Structure 1
Amino acid sequence: MFDGLKDKLSGFREDVEESADVEEEPAEGDEPANGDPTSGDPAAGDDAAASGDAEVVAAEAPADAEAEPASDAADDEPSAFQRAKAFATGRIIIEEEDLEEPLWNLEMALLESDVEMSVAEQILDTVREKMLGESRKQVETTGELVESALHDALLDVIAVGQFDFEERIAEADKPVTIVFTGVNGVGKTTSIAKLSEWLADRGYSSVLANGDTYRAGANEQIAEHADRLDRELISHDQGGDPAAVIYDGVEYAAANDVDVVLGDTAGRLHTSDDLMAQLEKIDRVVDPDMTLFVDEAVAGQDAVNRAKEFNDAAEIDGAVLTKADADSSGGAAISVAYVTGKPILFLGTGQGYDDLTLFEPEALVESLLDEE
């Protein structure tokens, strides 16, 4: 899952290691005296850097290392004194020139992986902020420094708005009503069935309510899932009021001590006034505890755009991304939470009812940065 993005992130690590691993040899006759990196070739201290397996360079710190001389250099750039001191104590400093080309390559890689532009820019800004001018012991490899910066940058955008879904279910007054929305054909109804099974595995009962009352075959589709899972299904005749169906589901759950109502809705576009009016009526009549947006991870940038548009039109509380197991780019998983401010809660990872995985940002970031 997301192997393409993982390879691109690994490429960034290698780019920075290569650019920071250039140690310029002093010209003949210019070898620094007494190991002083500030004498001889003035660039020696600038370019001394360590790669993953480089040995720590042994050198004595300048005698006057206690007081840093004044410098006309910009405040955010390491001075010659800082570079010399870092080199003398077996440390490296990452400079702008070390990052310029790798960051450009990373930006292109993220955009090629369908990461939304503003999300890519945020990742780049965080990586630059955490690495530029940063000093690390040479025994802490450049690769480790890159991995730490990427970890923080990715987590910052992926974990936006994250909350504990199961804890929210446990603490909420019952029945909990969850309404699903999104365009047709992205696995919305199947995701409802999967979540019903996920809840059952954790001891929660659920009832399905078919608010998709206009699509031919919608009742049959969700009824098949209900039969297979042995769940009660609340439905009306085709063309009925979606809000009334889900309301009846809530009434049934309250009367029968059912924990969760899972309400399907008609596939809709944010530009469809009639369908959006239906969703607004459901919000008004039922007042659901959560509205979840469903789309395909493989839709990439389209899924990101739709998530933003749906959230703007009718506020969502979180997202479910289906077909995550078939997605190598990872753009939707990286971007949806950041552009909406609402978390990804689940990933669909297969065709079975058990193929629904709770989304864990930390675990995803670790898997993207795992070199094995």
Structure 2
Amino acid sequence: MFESLKKAIKNFSDSITTRELSEKEIESAVNEFVHELIQNDVAYDVAIEIANEIRLSLKDVKIGRFTNSHTIIESKMKESLTKILEIVKPPDFYQLVSSIIKEKGLCTIVFFGVNGSGKTTTIAKLAFKLKEKGFLPIIAAADTFRAGAIEQIKSHAEKIGVPVYLSKYGSDPASVAFGCVQEARKNKRNVVLIDTAGRMNTDTDLIQEMKKIVRVSKPDLKIFVGDSLVGNDAVNQIRTFNSDIGIDGVIITKMDADSHGGLIFSVARIIKKPIYFIGIGQDYSSLIEFSPEVILKKLF
């Protein structure tokens, strides 16, 4: 995780600290670093912003053979990246859910994203974590379109010991979501997690269906699940879903398989929505709460 981005940061730091450089040479190194950031899924505008901050921070710093230049550069880069990540530092997710339950008696969360983002597995992981924290989750199997989707979520639910509200393939997803909310109230479950069919952000019909699910289930939180492996395509997906449906936060999956990791900075700077969790593995406990400190520790 982050191996390639970490290497790019180290290479840049080394390139301007191993010997005294002219302003022209430093500028060349910064431009090369911008290229490396883009290669690691940092959006162009965000890479330029990071580079500009580094230029400003280096302006009054004398980089020479006998200064502790590596530490100086690392500190300046940490400052720049921290500033970006702090934008999406979320409130404590479990406290947020608790406060909603305290106010309404039930917290309803709907999840959406494109096909193959790991949404269903992520919902199972979150249900597992919520159960561990003492909540009483129930899952709505509102993906009634994809072959095997109902069996998949049912299998996950059985493994983690969480009830699931099922219907038949071809059923109206909004009706399934609404039915699960009613079931939760009836059986005193306090968190509803609504799984939905993956949909491309360009599919107008499926976006309309998602709007109906939201209208009927009246969720407290709308969470987009994005795949880190698709890079900056995820930024465009989130932007479109946010415009069409509105999102309250993001979960980024498959971070363990992504050596780049720059997507987090793109989401932070461009989307400016809380990143609640990142997925770092296959088992149910491999969903960790997002924090800038965790990310920076991986990079430096």
Whether TM-score is above 0.5 comes out as yes
Q: Which amino acid aligns with 2:176?
A: V
Match of 1:128 in 2: 55
Match of 1:31 in 2: none
- Where do 1:98-117 residues align within 5 Å? 99-117=26-44
Match of 1:280 in 2: 211
| The one of 230, 254, 277 aligned to 2:185 | 254
Match of 1:245 in 2: 176
- Where do 1:215-234 residues align within 5 Å? 215-234=146-165
State the percentage of identical aligned residues.
37
* CA deviation vs aligned residue, 1:206-241 (integer Å, no higher than 9, x gap): 000011122222211111111111211112222222
Q: Which amino acid aligns with 1:122?
A: E
Q: Distance in 2 between matches of 1:317 and 1:168?
A: 12
Q: Distance in 2 between matches of 1:300 and 1:233?
A: 32
Q: How many equivalent residue pairs?
A: 296
- Where do 1:80-229 residues align within 5 Å? 96-97=23-24, 99-134=26-61, 141-164=68-91, 165-173=93-101, 174-229=105-160
Check the 8 A contact 1:119/1:157 in 2, yes or no: no
Aligned residues: CA RMSD: 2.0
Q: Which amino acid aligns with 2:122?
A: S
Question: What is the deviation of 1:135?
Answer: 6.5
Match of 1:360 in 2: 291
Question: What is the deviation of 1:110?
Answer: 0.2
Instruction: Return the TM-score normalized by structure 1.
Output: 0.75
Q: 1:197 to 1:152 in 2, by over 3 A?
A: same
Larger RCO (CA under 8 A, 6+ residues apart): 2
| The one of 260, 270, 281 aligned to 1:339 | 270
**DSSP 3-state at the match of 2:198:** coil
Q: 1:362 to 1:138 in 2, by over 3 A?
A: farther
Q: Higher helix fraction: Structure 1 or Structure 2?
A: 2
Question: What is the deviation of 1:136?
Answer: 9.3
Instruction: Return the TM-score normalized by structure 2.
Output: 0.92
Check the 8 A contact 2:89/2:290 in 1, yes or no: no
Q: Which amino acid aligns with 1:6?
A: K
- Judge which range, 325-334 or 307-316, deviates more: 307-316
Structure 2 unaligned spans of 5+: none
Match of 1:15 in 2: 15
Q: Distance in 2 between matches of 1:132 and 1:260?
A: 52
Question: What is the deviation of 1:271?
Answer: 1.4
* CA deviation vs aligned residue, 1:107-148 (integer Å, no higher than 9, x gap): 011011121111111211222222212479998721122112
Structure 1 unaligned spans of 5+: 23-46, 48-95
Q: Distance in 2 between matches of 1:295 and 1:277?
A: 20
- Where do 1:59-70 residues align within 5 Å? none
- Judge which range, 310-319 or 348-357, deviates more: 310-319
